Amino acid sequence: MPAGFDARPIATFSGLRGVPLLALSHNALFPALRILPHGIRIRVIRSHDFTYDEIAGVGVAWRLGWQLSFIPHRGLRSFTATFAGRPALVQAVAMLYRNGAPLDASAGALLASPPA
């Protein structure tokens, strides 16, 4: 397995693109998000791998927890990792930024804002 950063989400979800609170599948028992130099691997029921070129945008939001969402260029699904606290989310977004992930305005603003 390639070297990377293992984020520690409390749950992962797969949903419909553009419908933020509708989950098609979720994983609260064994959630996983690995941030790799070339892309991400997120486990929602099974593992899904995306290179940064395959991701249209990475965003953050507060919806029943700190959420980090990945929107692929292709398909109807989005993928979300939920974190218990803001520090874990900031750490994951900072690693994505260092690797060249396509952050949207919400993720960029998280990195620019002072720690809470």
**What region does 98 belong to: left with phi over 0, alpha with psi -120 to 50, or beta?**
alpha
Helix pair 105-112, 86-98: axis angle to 10 deg: 110
The range of the structural domain enclosing residue 32 comes to 5-112
Quote the tokens at residue 35. 């941030």
C-beta neighbour count of 49 within 10 angstroms: 12
Tokens 């994505």 sit at which residue?
96
With a pLDDT cut of 70, the percent of the chain lying above it is 95
Tens digits of residue pLDDT in 28-83 = 889 999 999 999 999 998 999 999 999 999 999 998 889 999 999 999 999 999 99
Q: What is the predicted pLDDT for the residue at 1?
A: 44
Q: What is the predicted pLDDT for the residue at 116?
A: 62
90 versus 21: the higher-pLDDT residue is 90
Q: What is the predicted pLDDT for the residue at 21?
A: 67
**59 touches 104 (CB < 8 A):** yes
pTM above 0.95, yes or no: no
Q: Is 113 exposed, middle or buried (0-12, 13-18, 19+ CB in 10 A)?
A: exposed
Domain count, the chain: 1
110 versus 2: the higher-pLDDT residue is 110
CATH value at residue 31: 2.30.29.30
Q: What is the predicted pLDDT for the residue at 64?
A: 82
